[in-house]
Amino acid sequence: MEELDFQGLLDKFGQDGFQKGEQVILGNFGTNQTLLSLIFQKPVNVKNIKVEEVHGVIIRGVDLVTDEQVVGHAITRVPGNRNSKKVWDAVLDRQLGLGQIIVTYNLPTKRVLVDVGHDDQAFWRTYTIEGADVFFEISETYPRKPFEEISWIHKEEGDMESSGIWGKVITTEVSHQQMQVDYFAKREKVGTISPPQVYQPKNEPEAGNLVAIFVEPGAAHLVFGDEIAPNEELDRKYREVRLQVFGRTHDVESVEFIEGEVKFVNNAAFLNIYESNLHWSTREPYKRAVFTETWNHMLSAGGKWINVIRGGYRLVKAPILEGDRAAAEKWEPEKGG
């Protein structure tokens, strides 16, 4: 979805029930720092800038802060093979913001919205800034509480057992699962067959273990015996919905392999802790390993420090089977495939 596809953007917001205050922020392709300063009526500054180069990709993380309150987070992925040397050096130098780099070097760009979402804790988006000399993939997340405190958005009230908080979480989960199903049904089946080693947090219940890996050219489909939500009510209701919508209760998370990288399609972990459930899309350097980071099996290519300090990971073995996403969806525990 390109920056000027306003109707598509409005349709997406309308379908998923975004509040007007969320829409203003998620639909803004100007300077977010300025917009947030106007919303909070005080300066919002970029702080806690962390820049790391990992296998030819710069990962840049920042906090957006007013006074001592964090009102937003952003993680930007800058692949070396898609950016000119001057852009690459400027990002590493940290003296200019991403927008300032584009203005300073007069770079023609377009912006493409990749994903938006919200739940009872936060709202978020992933988008790209693309041009002949530049490619930034930016994932932003905004905690709801600061915006609720100034009445920019209202707190969602409702019955947790029906259309309230758990209903929103379940709707998000089902939506992103369906996006994966659609994406891998349509993708061209090309590339090498490269089954990953899979690591799961040691504190994850055994029922959520990896039980099979389906492989096809350029992709792998990880099958987990279950998804064990951190809340009993959510766990029960989400299992019922999975069975109703997909005809299965096991979890399937698919990844694609592209030019030495692993692409996570609406299942990248990014800022998540184990109990959270935010969905992102990104590409990371692939070293023949994939790590699950959350109860709903959001993934990374290298593990997250928060799970390391909470006990670390365990390597989980499972049968490797030939098959596509559709085959993984039909996996049956009695048959093992």
In angstroms, the CA 289 to CA 315 distance is 10
Q: How high is the pLDDT of residue 273? A: 64
Band of pLDDT at residue 325, cut at 50, 70 and 90: very high
**236-284 confidence digits (pLDDT tens):** 889 999 998 889 999 999 999 998 999 999 898 876 667 666 667 889 9
Q: How high is the pLDDT of residue 96? A: 86
Bridge partners for 79 per DSSP: 57
Per-residue pLDDT, averaged over 117-133, amounts to 89
Q: How high is the pLDDT of residue 334? A: 61
Per-residue pLDDT, averaged over 219-226, amounts to 97
Q: Could you give the dihedral angle defined by the CA atoms of residues 10, 14, 20 and 24, in that order, rounded to the nearest 10 degrees?
A: -30
Alpha-helix residue ranges (DSSP H) falling in the chain: 6-16, 20-26, 32-40, 85-93, 98-104, 144-149, 165-186, 232-246, 305-309, 325-329
Per-residue pLDDT, averaged over 147-159, amounts to 79
Q: How high is the pLDDT of residue 277? A: 64
Q: How high is the pLDDT of residue 55? A: 78
* Chain centroid, CA 153 distance in Å: 23
| 4 or 253, which is more confident | 253
Q: How high is the pLDDT of residue 309? A: 77
Q: How high is the pLDDT of residue 272? A: 61
E strand map for the chain: 45-54, 57-66, 69-79, 110-118, 122-130, 135-143, 197-201, 210-216, 219-224, 251-258, 261-268, 280-285, 289-292, 299-300, 313-316, 320-322
For the chain, domains (ranges, CATH) are 6-149 (3.40.1410.10), 165-329 (no CATH)
Strand order in the sheet with 135-143: 45-54, 57-66, 69-79, 135-143, 122-130, 110-118
Q: How high is the pLDDT of residue 67? A: 87
Q: How high is the pLDDT of residue 9? A: 65
Range in 100-104, 168-172, 216-220 the model is least confident about: 168-172
Q: How many alpha carbons lie under 13 Å from residue 249 in its C-beta half-sphere?
A: 13
Q: How high is the pLDDT of residue 4? A: 47
Look at the pTM and tell me if it is higher than 0.75: no
